[in-house]
């Protein structure tokens, strides 16, 4: 996965963070966790789709960690994307704050911003198929975020599971991976599943699961 520049409003740990003196004083908080970054990302999407060589009807949103948080937020605020892939993502900020491996940092940085900017509040507006990916040994964004997102997509989203439990949403779970997928054989599975999911919803292809995941359940 490549790493793009963070949009305005994101929690930047780059040059500004490096210039911060070690005084123990909390830095100024961002004005908003979601609105400026998500609007920036959608503006970039608009500019890209305006190109003659881009088919704007076949776009996908994808992100990991903070990018996954953005993907979750965007999922609840627009249906413009054919599919959304969210990896190691923050979903319910009331739950995430006390369970991450750095709750002191989260509390200091976020203050009272978390509740208003939690993607889970908008689950009922999600109508886009989502692929949720999470590792069980992720201590930065604990597995509970992925599990809760998965269940709420099936039970409370605008695209819930049907009476037979069938759903266009998918969940890829790695029992022995952490915040990122580090083992080569698992990275291969990651790419096969992501590309298969995107191919299904963008190109109408029938996805082929890696053998290690077994055959899909029959409805």
* Residues with catalytic function: 65, 138, 179
What DSSP character marks residue 203? I
- Tokens at 177, concatenated: 């991976």
Cα 103–chain centre separation = 20
Q: Which DSSP letter does residue 118 get?
A: -
* Burial letters 83-101, b for 16+ CB under 10 A, else e: bbbbbbbbbbbebbbeebe
Token representation of residue 132: 């949720």
Q: Please give the sequence-ordered ranges of beta strands (E in DSSP) within the chain, or none if there are none.
A: 60-64, 83-87, 130-135, 170-174
Q: What is the number of residues in the chain?
A: 219
């Amino acid at each position: 996965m490549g790493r793009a520049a963070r949009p305005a409003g994101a929690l930047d740990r780059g040059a500004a963070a490096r210039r911060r003196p070690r005084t123990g004083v909390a830095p100024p908080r961002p004005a908003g966790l979601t609105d400026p970054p998500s609007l920036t990302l959608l503006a970039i999407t608009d500019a890209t789709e305006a190109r003659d060589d881009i088919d704007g009807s076949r776009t996908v949103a994808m992100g990991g960690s903070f990018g996954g948080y953005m993907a979750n937020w965007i999922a609840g605020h627009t249906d413009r994307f054919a599919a959304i892939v969210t990896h190691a993502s923050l979903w319910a900020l009331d739950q995430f704050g006390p369970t991450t491996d750095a709750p002191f940092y989260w509390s200091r940085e976020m203050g009272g911003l978390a509740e208003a900017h939690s993607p889970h509040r908008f689950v009922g507006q999600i109508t886009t198929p989502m692929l949720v990916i999470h590792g069980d040994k992720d201590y930065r964004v604990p597995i509970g975020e992925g599990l809760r997102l998965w269940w709420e997509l099936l039970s409370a989203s605008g695209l819930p599971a049907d009476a037979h439990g069938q759903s266009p949403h998918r969940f890829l779970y790695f029992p022995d991976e952490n915040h990122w997928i580090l083992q080569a054989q698992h990275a291969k599975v990651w790419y096969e599943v992501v590309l298969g999911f995107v191919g299904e919803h963008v190109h109408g292809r029938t996805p082929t699961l890696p053998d290690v995941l077994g055959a899909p359940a029959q409805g």
